[in-house]
Chain A
Amino acid sequence: EDQVTQSPEALRLQEGESSSLNCSYTVSGLRGLFWYRQDPGKGPEFLFTLYSAGEEKEKERLKATLTKKESFLHITAPKPEDSATYLCAVQGWNQGGKLIFGQGTELSVKP
């Protein structure tokens, strides 16, 4: 069964304190791994797609990496506006585009 587990559930950082969020997954044939950001009361906002082990993508203070079993979202020198819930999701082949989401990591960055 396809499964996604994110850790930690919650993370509190001081502004400028870099850290990483983890996403462990099992899927029968990975088509893509996705990172989204979700603000309270809003829908998820797309950040990155990773397709194969070793791939990395960056956007401002965020960098996503992928191995065969997990993905990391590295946050460098975070700012308070980076506070949100970060969701990881996987899509397998032959699943009609369905995404399996993890439970998310709630990030809080204090000034």
Chain B
Amino acid sequence: GAVVSQHPSWVICKSGTSVKIECRSLDFQATTMFWYRQFPKQSLMLMATSNEGSKATYEQGVEKDKFLINHASLTLSTLTVTSAHPEDSSFYICSARDLGDSNQPQHFGDGTRLSIL
């Protein structure tokens, strides 16, 4: 089945640090990947849609200069949280859909737990 790998799984860092999270589709190609944020006991909130070879599309209220997205290949998208602060602490999850079949569901990575001290 389709596998999405996310790295790292857990990050603790000081306030003001920038953190990069990687999302890879391991056995399929994905033109589009999605980045979500999830707070405890809440559902997934879409932050942005990452498109290979073009600029990401951000949801309303999400700062594009704060959350930098790069989608340089059909199997890799990265999310960089710049100058992170404690309020950025959350669970970040990526997903990808197989390029070859638009009816395929999104497959999710196992998330990155980000804790800013």
By a beta-carbon cutoff of 8 Å, the part of chain A in contact with chain B is 32, 34, 36, 41-46, 49, 87, 96-104
Contact = CB atoms under 8 A, between A and B. Distances in A.
Interface of B: 4, 6, 32, 34, 42-46, 49, 57, 91, 93, 95, 97, 102-103, 105-111, 113
State the main secondary structure of chain A at its contact with B: loop
Closest 10 pairs between A and B when the two form their complex, measured CB to CB: A43-B108, A103-B43, A101-B43, A43-B110, A44-B108, A101-B44, A46-B105, A43-B111, A43-B93, A43-B109
Contacts, number: 57
A1 to B, nearest CB: 12
A103 B45 CA distance: 10
A96 B106 CA distance: 12
B89 to A, nearest CB: 15
